[in-house]
């Protein structure tokens, strides 16, 4: 009986920290979901806010894997944090305000992107996203780092400061 309780608690904990990206709310008609309807895709509304990416804008602003499938070549001028999420995912909803706050705090130093895995399944497949949230930390130079599961605001800030901002301002890179 105790073993069953422990297994049940462990299962609940795992479900609480990450969602499986292969299930959930799918759009049947290709319509974008709530956050994309808010106008965050338009360039004039993105200052200090996360930017929602589509397949096309990802290829343009982050990595053109169609031209460089074997080599990561970051297209941006600022480091980036890319949040792979879904509206139905509770841990994703938990970190959404953190990403909003970080976008404002690091405006001009870092870009926060969001990719809805239900609407952008090709992008999720490119990065082999199996659970969400998954966050890709992208330095200007060097290889990106993927982190699956929800972290605390302090942990995101530490990774950003030590792995992205510090590297982009380091004159010896």
Residue range 93-147, pLDDT digits in tens: 999 999 999 999 999 999 999 999 999 999 999 999 999 999 999 999 999 999 9
Question: For the whole prediction, is pTM greater than 0.85?
Answer: no
Asked, for residue 46, whether it belongs to a domain, the answer is yes
Phi and psi angles of residue 101, each rounded to the nearest 5 degrees, phi first: -65, -45
Contact 151/142 with Cβ under 8 angstroms? no
* C-alpha to C-alpha distance for 28 and 59, rounded to whole angstroms: 24
Asked, for residue 18, whether it belongs to a domain, the answer is no
Look at the chain and report how many structural domains it folds into: 1
Asked, for residue 24, whether it belongs to a domain, the answer is no
Domain that holds residue 134: 38-169
And the tokens for 25? 């709310």
Asked, for residue 65, whether it belongs to a domain, the answer is yes
Phi and psi angles of residue 100, each rounded to the nearest 5 degrees, phi first: -60, -45
Question: What does the pLDDT read at residue 170?
Answer: 57
* C-alpha to C-alpha distance for 142 and 74, rounded to whole angstroms: 9
Residue 82, helix vs strand vs coil: strand
Range 71-80 average pLDDT: 95
* C-alpha to C-alpha distance for 96 and 10, rounded to whole angstroms: 25
Asked, for residue 138, whether it belongs to a domain, the answer is yes
Catalytic residue IDs? 89, 92
Asked, for residue 6, whether it belongs to a domain, the answer is no
CATH of the domain at 69: 3.40.30.10
Q: Residue 91: CB partners within 8 Å, gap ≥ 6?
A: 16, 17, 18, 19, 132, 133, 149, 150
* C-alpha to C-alpha distance for 142 and 117, rounded to whole angstroms: 25
61 or 22: whose pLDDT is higher?
A: 61
Residue 15 has pLDDT above 90, yes or no: no
Asked, for residue 144, whether it belongs to a domain, the answer is yes
Asked, for residue 74, whether it belongs to a domain, the answer is yes
Question: What does the pLDDT read at residue 166?
Answer: 83
Question: What does the pLDDT read at residue 26?
Answer: 39
Q: Mean of the per-residue pLDDT values for the chain?
A: 80
Question: What does the pLDDT read at residue 46?
Answer: 63
Residue range 43-55, pLDDT digits in tens: 444 678 999 999 9
């Amino acid at each position: 009986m105790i073993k069953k309780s422990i297994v049940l608690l462990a299962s609940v904990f795992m479900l609480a920290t990450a969602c499986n990206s292969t299930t959930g709310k799918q759009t049947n008609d290709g319509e974008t979901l709530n956050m994309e309807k808010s106008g965050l895709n338009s360039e004039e509304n993105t200052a200090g806010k996360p930017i929602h990416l589509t397949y096309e804008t990802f290829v343009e602003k982050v990595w053109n894997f169609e031209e460089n499938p074997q080599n990561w070549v970051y297209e941006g001028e600022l480091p980036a944090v890319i949040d792979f999420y879904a509206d139905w995912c509770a841990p994703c909803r938990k970190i959404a305000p953190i990403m909003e706050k970080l976008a404002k705090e690091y405006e001009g130093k870092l870009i926060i992107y969001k990719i809805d895995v239900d609407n952008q399944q090709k992008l999720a497949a490119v990065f082999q996203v199996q659970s969400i949230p998954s966050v890709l930390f992208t330095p200007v130079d060097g290889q990106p780092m993927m982190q699956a599961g929800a972290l605390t605001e302090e942990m995101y800030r530490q990774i950003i400061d030590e792995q992205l901002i510090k590297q982009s301002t380091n004159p010896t890179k």
